[in-house]
Amino acid sequence: MPINTDEPAYEPRRISMGLRIANLVAILVPFAGLIAGGILIWPFGFGWLYIALLIGGYLTTGIGITAGFHRFFTHKSFETNRVVVFILGVMGSMAVEGPLLNWVATHRCHHQHSDCEEDPHSPHAHGNGLWDMFRGIWHAQMGWIINHKAPNFTRYVPDLQKDRMLRFIHVTFPLWVAVGLLFPAVLGGVITLSWTGALLGFLWGGLIRVFFVHHVTWSVNSVCHIWGRQPYDCHDESRNNAICGVLALGEGWHNNHHAFPTSAKHGLRWWQFDMSWLFIKTLILLRLARNPRIPSLERQRAAMRT
């Protein structure tokens, strides 16, 4: 990770009140969408179209976070062309997890200080009691998003800051959020030729999709630092959790990932299903990506716990 260690980890101040409110809205509105979608099944029913919009949107924007924001932009685990870089940036932005540079800076900070005091979202170090454990889970899942110190861009993302196209994707974040919410609404409306279809498309392909992408990716920060196996000695609490491994498109093999952060493949064993690696492998087969970084078997064996 290209980190400029001469700079401090965080900006001196916490994020502004306006940004805190915006983050709270981004957490609560998808939850409200889930409730509205559930209630509206009663008068309007449900159907394959909305399941397809939900799953299609989940995979598109989820892969944007896992293969895009995480494995490509944060860890440089493979190489690709500029068109794919742009598309990955847009897909990740539509997941509504913050602008590109914020996401990458926060995640590089997490790796550098994993489960220590400076870690932005560790579930640990909140105390030893049962209540403290719940506080830790809440903080790691979403509490940190509402009130956190801003990571220092000059320290964590000097490489991304230099790139004009990536700065463009970063500052146009609200546009991609809007596109990600309105596109399924338009599809729902056009396919059913009804306003009800547009509303249900907006709810299931937009808000409810954001709700699931949010909570599954955030579970990697909380669940995968508490429950699961630790085949590798990483000097932190990262764990492999099979449920998150499948639901979070391969990101739940999190102990593997902390052991080999630049690996394009997180599911290192044959049975560790890794959807994001399948996506990257497909890009490679289509000659749209190249040079994936994968640790050799010798390195993997050497890093095993004894």
Closest CA to 253 of 264, 263, 243, 240: 240
Closest CA to 262 of 111, 81, 121, 151: 111
Q: How far is the CB of 240 from Zn ion (least distance, A)?
A: 11
Per the listing, tokens 């909140």 go with 126
Q: How far is the CB of 62 from Zn ion (least distance, A)?
A: 15
In the complex with Zn ion, the residue whose CB is nearer, 73 or 183, is: 73
**Residue 49 amino acid letter:** L
In the complex with Zn ion, the residue whose CB is nearer, 208 or 224, is: 224
Tokens of 145: 């998003």
> Angle 106-111-116 (CA atoms, 0-180°, nearest 5)?
95
In the complex with Zn ion, the residue whose CB is nearer, 157 or 203, is: 157
In the complex with Zn ion, the residue whose CB is nearer, 185 or 248, is: 248
Q: How far is the CB of 284 from Zn ion (least distance, A)?
A: 20
In the complex with Zn ion, the residue whose CB is nearer, 80 or 263, is: 263
Q: How far is the CB of 223 from Zn ion (least distance, A)?
A: 11
Report CA 271 to chain centroid distance, whole Å. 23
In the complex with Zn ion, the residue whose CB is nearer, 76 or 149, is: 76
Torsion 234-157-93-268 (CA) sign = negative
Q: How far is the CB of 202 from Zn ion (least distance, A)?
A: 32
Q: How far is the CB of 255 from Zn ion (least distance, A)?
A: 9
Residue nearest to Zn ion (CB): 238
Strands 289-290 and 149-151 turn out to be unpaired
Q: How far is the CB of 78 from Zn ion (least distance, A)?
A: 14
In the complex with Zn ion, the residue whose CB is nearer, 238 or 300, is: 238
Beta bridge partners of 80: 289
Per the listing, tokens 């990932």 go with 257
CA dihedral 246, 216, 265, 51 (to 10 degrees): 60
Per the listing, tokens 């890009």 go with 283
Closest CA to 269 of 302, 240, 293: 240
In the complex with Zn ion, the residue whose CB is nearer, 66 or 93, is: 66
**Residue 119 amino acid letter:** D
Q: How far is the CB of 122 from Zn ion (least distance, A)?
A: 8
Strands (DSSP E) contained in the chain are 10-14, 79-80, 149-151, 289-290
Residues lying near Zn ion in the complex (CB under 5 A) are found at: 238
